Amino acid sequence: MNFFLQELKEEFGFYSSKRELLEALMEYGKCLEELSLEFRTDEYKVPGCISGVFITAELKDGKVFYKGFSESFIVKGFVYILFKALSGLTPKDIIDAEQTLKSFSKDTSLSASEITSRANSFGNIYDFMKKKALFIK
C-alpha cells in the first residue's frame, strides 16, 4: 500500500467517532491548493458528486499531476488524499491503484464516514482521476 495511505490508515484508526474522522477530513481539505476559476467548468467536473468537484490533470515526464477543487469541506479532504496518493505516478500506476484505494476506503470506513448524499464521492473522484490518466497526452 502507498506509504501515505498506510500512515493515514493508522491515523484514522485512532479516531473513536465519526465526528473525529469528518473533522480530520476537513483539516486535510484545507491543504488542497486552490484551483483557478477557469477550470471550474463541466469539462473538469466530476460526475456523480452532489457538491461541485473539479479536477485537472497534467502529464510531466511521464507522470500525472492533479489539481482540483470541491465546494464541500469533507470532499476537499477526499480530493487531497487522492491527490497525495496518486499525483506523481504514471498513468498505469494510477489505474493499477484501484484495489489499493478500495482496500483503504474499506479499512478506514471512509465511505461510511460520509452523509448519504456523499456516499460515492471517494470512488467517483478516483474514477474521474483514472479516466484523466487514461486519456492524458
Can you list the domains of the chain with their CATH numbers?
3-135 (3.90.1010.10)
One-letter amino acid of 16: S
**Per-residue model confidence as pLDDT tens digits over 58-79:** 999 999 999 999 999 999 999 9
What grid cell was written down for 13? 484508526
Residue 134's pLDDT is: 93
State pTM to two decimals.
0.91
The helix (run of H) or strand (run of E) holding residue 124 is helix 121-135
Q: Please say whether the beta carbons of 81 and 26 come within 8 A.
A: no
Low-confidence ranges of the chain (pLDDT < 50): none
Q: Angle CA(16)–CA(19)–CA(23) in degrees, nearest 5?
A: 110
What pLDDT does 15 receive? 86
pLDDT at 42: 94
Predicted local confidence at residue 106, as pLDDT: 84
The pLDDT assigned to 45 comes to 96
